[in-house]
Structure 1
Amino acid sequence: MNPVLTDRRAVLAGLAAGASSPALADDLEARARRIHAATLVLDSHLDIPLDYGTGGHDPAVDGDTQVDLPKLERGGVGAAAFAVFVPQGPRTPEGFAAARVQAETKLAAIRGIAERYPLRAALALSPDQVLAARKAGKVAVIPSFLNAYSLGTDLSAIDSFVARGVRVLGFVHAGNNDLADSSRPSGEPAVEHGGLSPLGKAAVGRLNALGVLIDVSQLTPDGVLQTLALGRAPVVATHSGVRGVVDVPRNLSDRELDAIAAKGGVVQIVAFKSYLVRPGADYADKVRALRTEVGLPAAFVKPADGAAGLPADVRADYTHRLGGLLRDATVADLADSIDYAVKRIGIDHVGVGSDFNHGGGVTGWRNAGEAFGVTRELVRRGYSQGQVGKIWGGNFLRAWRGAEAAKA
């Protein structure tokens, strides 16, 4: 019997029996706080605005972004993977050039966190450097990369970004690019490459040779399985959900979960309500009404059908309102998906990633300063200190070491 689920049932039975006991609640809170303080809390994926590092978005300012140094410190977050992310644009020389400028700007901002505040943060380019930063009481800043669109068709650009610190790289976001198909195609054929393109397949080998941890989030199932078949290192899905809980193309199927775990990889459950909360019975009717209102055909296979053709401001409003059709997600919903993944592939292959500043955040973990809410919910469900440590950071570091070992 799964010890996590057995422990969870025991804890829940105790809570039900003594729900009115303040002593029981106080003991749980105190134990969760001790575990949180002793744990390397690592957020495997978050974004930054393009102006990060300036004005109110200076990382030392407790500002309006979900992640800054005050929030990371307040939440006891010891490490975070900051993404060099550029959204999809036209696949033209001009589009690639503009995207590359944005990517360079974001990488400089990420490196700048540690460069400008060396007493509070440290650039961490290896698992050992993450642990050294934690020992020194600093936040470990891990540069990551999402969406190879900004690389265009130039694989040598990978070497350039890795030379300046990128240690985690995901191929796609919302839309196919020249390396791979996205699970969320936008304005292009749903299947363009059949998973990875020849360029994407070459990129797997190049990233293995460089010791970079490959992020399979947002790939199609074919892309995920091809990456695993071609690669010689564990992979991570830094911000993904599970289709066994919410059946949407962006989430990972049981087959993908099994394959990632079989290769020693880790699935980091994302704190994003669209991938954690099942739509209500009236969801389809609400989507049809909203689509009609903004001028889209009422019929759809998925709510985003045809939205790429809307003017940018209308599309942004539609996307925002579409999210509002789902109830808010909570740390309990996040933990439900964690439970599912743990039961399916084991405690050694599950983690957590916020996707802050790009739609992530649930009630109980709205920003980096509230990271303890996740620990408290896991402890409430019966996860031990060792298990919480694996979910928050231990599993990610192990997979990263596997990627480093593949470099040899």
Structure 2
Amino acid sequence: MYSQFFVIDGHCDTISKLDDVNALECPNNNHVSLSRLYEGRVGIQFFAVWIDPLSTDKCLHSGLQLIDRYKRMLDTYAAHFHPILRLADAKDALEAGKIGALLTVEGGDVLEGSLSNLEVLYKAGVRLLTLTWNHSNQIAGAAMDAHSRYGLTPFGTEVVKTMNDLGMIVDVSHASEEAFWDVMEISKQPVIASHSNAKAVCPHPRNLDDEQIKAIASKGGVIGINFYPLFLSKTEDAGIVDIIKHIEYIASLVGTDCIAFGSDFDGIETLPQGIEGPQSFPIIVEELLKLNYSEEDVHKICHNNFLRVMEKILK
């Protein structure tokens, strides 16, 4: 069924850029558009709702407004998108030739310290929560927050447990090391880092060290390679070769079963040289095939690893 090449992209911030949902098909400055998704053979796109906790004290309200925007996008382009709430929806989308859309939230500030709000989000269609953004919150400490570093709070522990029970994917991208290890201990399900890279290749605080990569792999999770140049390379001229370096490094460390794509399109100011948007995924695939990665391994990286996690977690 999945013999044909397609990509699952585990993270984009396009929803925040769509003041007018019709912009998804018009020429614009965004990375993601309908034509580009099709050109890049993106079979499933994870769409993140991101709330800047520094710009509002009504995070849940802001998040629900963006979820409404996401649903308007789905309604406007019903001929092209199929919402994913469970694994069967992913299969239905692929069989229909539509783009599967999985709704995520980036930043647990949206919960405003209430577990009941997690169920509100679940009922609204959210199937993944990135526990933190750049700032520590009521759930956990953040990797980029040098002034307030800690692990999971007691509330955060309950959030992770409730996500396991509901059938939501726990995402540790942006989490502090302390929080990361707390999640690994508590979660009974695979854990993902939807848009993170290897610290050994690029020593950025947002990237994962070897032990973290091994822990995600051993738990059956995935790491979505992030295309942000600052997370790819210590130099300013990152390109496709640097994306490949991160894939190669993780593959050499733990194999290909935990590697995926988490582009961060429309959430990053600049793109690597040679990458223009989703339409560039086939170029990356061609490079992997040139390096003699087997078709099976390329299919794992492109989609099968994410499908495995979805099959395990989504109810």
Report TM bin, short chain.
Answer: over 0.9
Partner of 1:340: 249
Secondary structure of the structure 2 residue equivalent to 1:240: coil
Residues 62 and 370 (structure 1), Cα distance of their counterparts in 2 relative to 1, 3 Å cut: farther
Is this contact kept in 1: 2:15–2:47, CA < 8 A?
A: no
Residues 42 and 53 (structure 1), Cα distance of their counterparts in 2 relative to 1, 3 Å cut: farther
Q: Aligned equivalents of 1:180 and 1:343: distance in 2? A: 31
Partner of 1:167: 127
Give yes or no for the alignment of 1:402 onto 2:309. Answer: no
After superposition, residues 9-408 of structure 1 pair within 5 angstroms as 38-48=4-14, 50=16, 52=18, 54=20, 58-89=23-54, 95-97=56-58, 99-185=59-145, 189-191=147-149, 194-279=150-235, 326-327=236-237, 329-359=238-268, 361-404=271-314
Is this contact kept in 2: 1:174–1:185, CA < 8 A?
A: yes
Is this contact kept in 1: 2:227–2:243, CA < 8 A?
A: yes
Amino acid of the structure 2 residue aligned with 1:79: I
Secondary structure of the structure 2 residue equivalent to 1:268: strand
Q: Aligned equivalents of 1:96 and 1:128: distance in 2? A: 37
Secondary structure of the structure 1 residue equivalent to 2:302: helix
Secondary structure of the structure 1 residue equivalent to 2:200: coil
Shift of 1:40: 2.7
Amino acid of the structure 2 residue aligned with 1:362: P
- Bigger shift: residues 107-116 or 388-397: 107-116
Shift of 1:127: 2.6
Runs ≥4 residues deviating over 6 A: none
Shift of 1:403: 1.9
Residues 274 and 387 (structure 1), Cα distance of their counterparts in 2 relative to 1, 3 Å cut: same
Q: Aligned equivalents of 1:370 and 1:105: distance in 2? A: 31
Shift of 1:54: 0.9
Partner of 1:308: none
Shift of 1:154: 1.4
* Deviations, residues 233-253 of structure 1 (Å, cap 9, x unaligned): 001100001111111211101
Q: Aligned equivalents of 2:107 and 2:154: distance in 1? A: 17
Q: Aligned equivalents of 1:389 and 1:62: distance in 2? A: 31
Is this contact kept in 1: 2:17–2:30, CA < 8 A?
A: no
Report percent identity of matched pairs.
26
Between Structure 1 and Structure 2, the one with more helix by share is: 1
Q: Aligned equivalents of 2:312 and 2:184: distance in 1? A: 13
Q: Aligned equivalents of 1:135 and 1:153: distance in 2? A: 40
Is this contact kept in 2: 1:365–1:374, CA < 8 A?
A: no
| TM-score normalised over the length of structure 2 | 0.94
Gaps of 5+ in 2: none
Secondary structure of the structure 2 residue equivalent to 1:347: coil
* Deviations, residues 316-339 of structure 1 (Å, cap 9, x unaligned): xxxxxxxxxx22x21111010011
Is this contact kept in 2: 1:246–1:276, CA < 8 A?
A: yes
Q: Aligned equivalents of 2:288 and 2:54: distance in 1? A: 39
